[in-house]
Structure 1
Amino acid sequence: MSETTGRDRPAPARRRGPGGGGPFGGANMPAEKAMNFGPSARRLLGRLRPESLGLVFVVLLAVVSVTFNVLGPKLLGEGTNIVVAGFVSKSLPAGVTQQQVIDGLRAKGETQQADMLSGMTLTPGHGIDFTALSHVLLLVLVLYVLSSIFSWLQAYILNGITMRTVYRLRKDVEAKIHRLPLKYFDTMPRGELLSRVTNDIDNVQQSLQQTMSQVVTSLLTVVGVLVLMFVISPLLALIALVSIPLTLVVTVLIARRSQKMFVAQWRHTGTLNAQIEETYTGHAIVKVFGRQREVNERFAAKNEELYKASFGAQFVSGIIQPSMQFVGNLVFVAIAVVGGLQVAAGIIQIGDVQAFIQYSRQFTQPLAQLGSMANLLQSGVASAERVFELLDADEESEDPAEPASLGATEGRLEFEDVSFRYAEDKPLIDDLSLVAEPGQTVAIVGPTGAGKTTLVNLIMRFYEVDSGRIALDGIDITELTRRELRSRIGMVLQDTWLFAGTIRENIAYGRPDATEQEIVDAATASYVDRFVRSLPDGYDTVLDDDASNISAGEKQLLTIARAFLARPSVLILDEATSSVDTRTELLVQKAMSALREGRTSFVIAHRLSTIRDADLILVMEAGHIVEQGTHAQLLAAGGAYYTLYNAQFAGAVTDEV
């Protein structure tokens, strides 16, 4: 709908990147205030609610997988105990009991060695029990294989959950865009909007994919490992617990700082996209006025801001994992020292210390992973904030619950005391009243900013009137659905819009069910057929995104053919022939005269020669109709229209010195 933006209205304040008003510069966009991480994260997680059953299944699979995985070190510790006990038993004399050996050592004063042996299960004279050892190792192998299978299933299901969640988010954003008023697009740079719809949603998807599975697994691993650590040694478990508050303090301190940087990173990404899109659109103008250097300088400045924000966000959040590893290493040293003392005292066995050291690694590693995922989570939530801002934007007013029905439309349009303004403190149209009878051609002329295109936007309900009413065939247009209203109105604008597709598809855009003959008839009436026939592929010629493979005048003719094919009751032509040559314009004017018969037509024109045969000419100034009548009547009156006409057709004035 961007082609409907009025050229004669005062531009609303635009939130733009550096360069605000066009390709050549402007004020910097003010920094946006970041939303709180917590509410945004909860809202993002809330979008997973439709997948609750799948998430429960994922958690169950994760519980089983983690349980099998954390049992491994405990069983391997038992295997180590079997090996150590075998070596020690082999060195002891056969025929005595373990207690006799211990008592003998105590009698010799070797109390420490006796304490250590008391913590083992020994059979003096026997070696390693390979049968028991093989059973343990086979059990560990089975547990690890099952853990991997359940982990794979968990990841597979969770990937589907993430994809469906982002799919629904994209659908909601797409639906939201169609419910937004034209005012939103007038105040939002296109590049910034595209960045939210593409880059930010992609980043949310990536963040969910990379973090959800790891977060679930890491948290369950911490719980499972902690339970087994308490089973092995409560004292060592308490030492390991010291790492949790240290981890939380470090993570929170760093995360608070990096979250603001991630918000800035994605904000700068959006504004840079807006700047690039703006410059690319106006590339020819940039070249004509030789402003490449200024554009490059603006790009370099904004690119530098994005670099600094991105580098800062990644660097600060990247500190989390090394900090977690440092805390984990401190805990590892403490466990090794205290564990060695407990083995020497016979409180636990060597295999238990081995298992506990493995558990200490498994305990700190998930904490470090959670820390390293903080940057992904913060980046994803920062992007989610921007998407939620779009989803929370004010929408068009609701269509009536019980809309009126037009039936066969005659095309009588009536403005009754209509007032409208884009900005509260800048009145544009005040108490405007006019009637366009069925079949009449009403031309609207006046200087730029007079409110000509604004009238069109109000008829189409792109904007809502502040007061008064607009009626179509006696029915207030607010009592109709927008779809019903707009289906009765055809519109051709000065700024053409064609999409990537065939010429046939572009003409039939307003009536996809039109027959081939109807398409050809509309093309013939608007003088499209004659140039289409000269193309190698005719109506199957594929236009690119910008329709750059046809001329500007041919683009305009295609949009006219599209409007004709729609069979509207009301026809709106906003400088519709401005891009065609004089000869073609005369032909199109003849075709329009025939096609306008039985239709109410509004023609906005700056070239007054194109509207001399209009049934009614309205002259607007500052939102008011200052004159109305036919071409001959207005010239005879010698007023504002007379001045405009003479200014356009008078010969060049030469000042004599």
Structure 2
Amino acid sequence: MKSLKSTTLRKILFLFLQYPISIIFFLLLTVLHVLLTVYLPILIGQAVDVTLGFGFSQTLRTVLLQMGIVVIANTLLQFLGPLLTNKIVYQMVAGLRQKVFEKLHTVPLAYLDQQGLGDLVARISSDSEQLTNGLLMVFHQLFLGILTIFFMILAMADLDFVMMIVVVALTPLSLFVARYIAQKSYLYYRKQTQARGEQVSMLEESISQLPLIQTFNAQETFANRFDKINAQYADYSQVAIFASSTVNPTTRFINALIYALLAGLGALRIMQGRFTVGGLTTFLNYASHYSKPFNDISSVLSELQSALACAERLFDILEKDSIVEESIKEFDEQAVMGNIEFQDVSFSYQVDKPVIKNLNLSIPAGSKVAIVGPTGAGKSTLINLLMRFYPLDKGAILLDGQPISDYSSDSLRSLVGMVLQETWLQSATIHDNIAYGYPNATRELVIEAAQAANADFFIRQLPQGYDTYLADAGQSLSQGQRQLLAIARIFVKLPRILILDEATSSIDTRTELLIQGAFEKLMQGRTSFIIAHRLSTIQTADLILVMVEGDIVEQGSHSQLMQKKGFYYQMQKSQGSLT
């Protein structure tokens, strides 16, 4: 655990080294601030001695004027310091947050499949914010505290070496206590951040699925689950905060005892003639300034534990392996025919649970291929492998006789138009959503695409038409309307390969017939894959693949499969569409 913390801390320090000029300037300001802080007690002691008649080399007015200048200069430095540190910290964390966001777009989908959506959101939002707060405390208090301790030791040694030894020997007691408590609180803060991630994930799941929860009257079940997670989060938070909150009062109590001891020892040295009253005043000021950073450092150490726990979760994402492109070759879109071949392909999401086993398949260019089968048969997996969303365990997929792994994934995906059952829209205008991925698309092209998808009519009914801004990422639209916009994207740039995964599942029958007609025109001359549960929509396919548990158990045209009276025939029979 200790090595994990030190590793995380080194990574944070490395990020700060990217701002060398700002860090050097900050250190110079901090040193100057501490020097003025050291000089002020000297002036206070001189003012006391002058008042009591022990010093006649300068007037009280002169001393007070010097004190005023020091106070004003120190105030200015205290104003500039936080401005600089805030800029450094916020830039660093913003850069880290950006790297994590970009990393999530490069990690394998297998990693994302294992993570909760809410937990990932919590890492980028809540954890990065907690890291910011902890680092600000480090800059505002830790560095200042360390330099203050160092210079105060030198100043006290110059005044009275014996009393300095007493101070230095006793004050580390508070630091030892703080360190012990901080180590304990770190464990609780790690549990707290993990529990917070689970809580956010649970919230995201329940809010996004609220209609479904109400439909199945599962409110009480979700409420009980949230109550358990919420109570766990509260327990971890309470223990962590209580443990960290005991640091400050404990160290303050120890330092108060030390201060009282110094006052008594100083009084004895005044009676021995080794100190003036002003000198003791200066020394006690130094002792107070010397002990105060220990309180601040103890608070910082406590907050730092939470910050390190949050940073650890962010770095955990950054350290995941990214998808590495082994080739930069690109397809010539105009030359691509669309012949697709699966050669001895095997794949599994988990090592001991194969999904597709030794699949061999040849699809001629321009074919309309339908993939059917029960849920979990591997239909969508087949498409995911074709799109290179997951790496193959064995075998190869060829496009026009060339392994698709020899080409960049961007080049491959630029050839494919894909419409999924679950649509996604961004918070943008209708125009931008249709032209997603093609930012240079003209308004005329977008309108033509919407008309081809039969979406133009409802778009023109919206307040600003194609300029209507979907602030809620399309949640105000019906599911069918959202799917029409997703379909319209396909018509912006006509693909060489078309994939339709239940593309019209949320659309009414009349509109579906119109879109099916548009799809039929679009699929002519293009290799097309259709995943459908309604078998009546795929009867005109050139090739129907029937998948069961990762294997293609039957393949052929509709009439050929019906004559076999096998699995496909039974599926048609169960849907009452025997023709």
TM-score, length-normalised on structure 1? 0.85
**SS of the residue 1:614 aligns to:** coil
Query: Among residues 240, 245, 256, which one is paired with 1:318 in the alignment?
Result: 245
- Give the corresponding residue for 1:147: 74
Query: Among residues 386, 400, 419, which one is paired with 2:326 in the alignment?
Result: 400
Query: Among residues 79, 87, 90, which one is paired with 1:163 in the alignment?
Result: 90
Q: Higher mean Cα deviation, 600-609 or 496-505?
A: 496-505
Q: Higher mean Cα deviation, 578-587 or 311-320?
A: 578-587
**SS of the residue 1:428 aligns to:** strand
Cα separation, 1, equivalents of 2:387 and 2:68: 71
Q: Superposition RMSD on alpha carbons, in Å? A: 1.7
- Give the corresponding residue for 1:236: 163
- Measured after TM superposition, the shift of residue 404 of structure 1 is 4.3
- Give the corresponding residue for 1:54: 22
- Measured after TM superposition, the shift of residue 78 of structure 1 is 2.0
- Measured after TM superposition, the shift of residue 401 of structure 1 is 4.7
- Give the corresponding residue for 1:512: 439
1:81 aligns with 2:8: no
Cα separation, 1, equivalents of 2:238 and 2:399: 58
Q: Which residues of 2 match residues 419-568 of structure 1 at below 5 A?
A: 419-568=346-495
- Give the corresponding residue for 1:276: 203
- Measured after TM superposition, the shift of residue 289 of structure 1 is 1.6
Q: Which residues of 2 match residues 44-123 of structure 1 at below 5 A?
A: 44-85=12-53
Name the amino acid aligned to 1:68: L
Cα separation, 2, equivalents of 1:305 and 1:590: 55
- Measured after TM superposition, the shift of residue 245 of structure 1 is 2.6
CA contact 1:488–1:570 (8 Å) conserved in 2: yes
1:43 aligns with 2:11: yes
CA contact 1:44–1:381 (8 Å) conserved in 2: no
- Give the corresponding residue for 2:223: 296
CA distance 1:407–1:491, change in 2 (3 Å): closer
CA offsets 1:71-93 (integer angstroms, 9 cap, x no match):
1112221222222235xxxxxxx
Cα separation, 2, equivalents of 1:650 and 1:574: 21
Q: Higher mean Cα deviation, 238-247 or 585-594?
A: 238-247
- Measured after TM superposition, the shift of residue 211 of structure 1 is 2.5
CA distance 1:37–1:442, change in 2 (3 Å): same
CA distance 1:167–1:273, change in 2 (3 Å): same
Cα separation, 2, equivalents of 1:205 and 1:255: 19
CA distance 1:35–1:459, change in 2 (3 Å): farther
CA contact 1:616–1:629 (8 Å) conserved in 2: yes
Cα separation, 1, equivalents of 2:450 and 2:3: 53
Cα separation, 2, equivalents of 1:35 and 1:622: 46
Name the amino acid aligned to 1:41: L
CA contact 1:429–1:624 (8 Å) conserved in 2: yes
1:340 aligns with 2:261: no
CA offsets 1:365-387 (integer angstroms, 9 cap, x no match):
11111111222211111110111
- Measured after TM superposition, the shift of residue 429 of structure 1 is 0.6
Query: Among residues 623, 627, 646, which one is paired with 2:550 in the alignment?
Result: 623
1:578 aligns with 2:505: yes
1:649 aligns with 2:576: yes
Cα separation, 2, equivalents of 1:419 and 1:493: 24
- Measured after TM superposition, the shift of residue 546 of structure 1 is 4.7
**SS of the residue 2:50 aligns to:** helix
Q: How many pairs align?
A: 577
Dislocated runs of 4+, deviation >6 Å: none
Cα separation, 2, equivalents of 1:582 and 1:619: 25
CA distance 1:448–1:275, change in 2 (3 Å): same
CA contact 2:175–2:294 (8 Å) conserved in 1: no
- Give the corresponding residue for 2:290: 363
Q: Which residues of 2 match residues 249-264 of structure 1 at below 5 A?
A: 249-264=176-191
CA contact 1:324–1:364 (8 Å) conserved in 2: no
**SS of the residue 2:575 aligns to:** helix
Cα separation, 1, equivalents of 2:465 and 2:46: 81
- Give the corresponding residue for 1:267: 194
CA contact 1:239–1:334 (8 Å) conserved in 2: no
CA offsets 1:532-568 (integer angstroms, 9 cap, x no match):
2333432223334252332222222211111222311
- Give the corresponding residue for 1:308: 235
Cα separation, 1, equivalents of 2:460 and 2:560: 43
Name the amino acid aligned to 1:49: L
CA distance 1:479–1:401, change in 2 (3 Å): closer
Q: Among the aligned pairs, what percent are the same residue?
A: 38
Name the amino acid aligned to 1:568: P
Cα separation, 2, equivalents of 1:75 and 1:529: 80
Cα separation, 1, equivalents of 2:84 and 2:289: 25
Cα separation, 2, equivalents of 1:151 and 1:533: 58
**SS of the residue 2:361 aligns to:** strand
Cα separation, 1, equivalents of 2:42 and 2:424: 69
**SS of the residue 1:444 aligns to:** strand
Cα separation, 2, equivalents of 1:365 and 1:168: 33
CA distance 1:253–1:635, change in 2 (3 Å): same
CA offsets 1:177-199 (integer angstroms, 9 cap, x no match):
11112112211110001000100
Name the amino acid aligned to 1:459: L
CA offsets 1:143-182 (integer angstroms, 9 cap, x no match):
2222222333222222211121112112211210111121
CA contact 1:166–1:205 (8 Å) conserved in 2: yes
Q: Which residues of 2 match residues 586-625 of structure 1 at below 5 A?
A: 586-625=513-552
- Measured after TM superposition, the shift of residue 227 of structure 1 is 0.7
Name the amino acid aligned to 1:619: V
- Listed as ranges, the gaps of 5+ residues in structure 2 are none
- Listed as ranges, the gaps of 5+ residues in structure 1 are 1-32, 87-120, 122-128, 652-657
CA contact 1:221–1:366 (8 Å) conserved in 2: yes
- Give the corresponding residue for 1:247: 174
CA offsets 1:577-621 (integer angstroms, 9 cap, x no match):
111122222211111110111211000111110000111111111
Cα separation, 2, equivalents of 1:564 and 1:404: 23
Cα separation, 1, equivalents of 2:4 and 2:19: 25
**SS of the residue 2:90 aligns to:** helix
- Give the corresponding residue for 2:134: 207
Q: Higher mean Cα deviation, 541-550 or 279-288?
A: 541-550
Name the amino acid aligned to 1:245: P
Cα separation, 1, equivalents of 2:416 and 2:481: 22
Cα separation, 1, equivalents of 2:540 and 2:546: 15
Name the amino acid aligned to 2:33: S
**SS of the residue 1:627 aligns to:** strand
Name the amino acid aligned to 1:236: M
Cα separation, 2, equivalents of 1:35 and 1:537: 58
CA contact 2:372–2:531 (8 Å) conserved in 1: yes
- Measured after TM superposition, the shift of residue 257 of structure 1 is 0.7
Name the amino acid aligned to 1:580: I
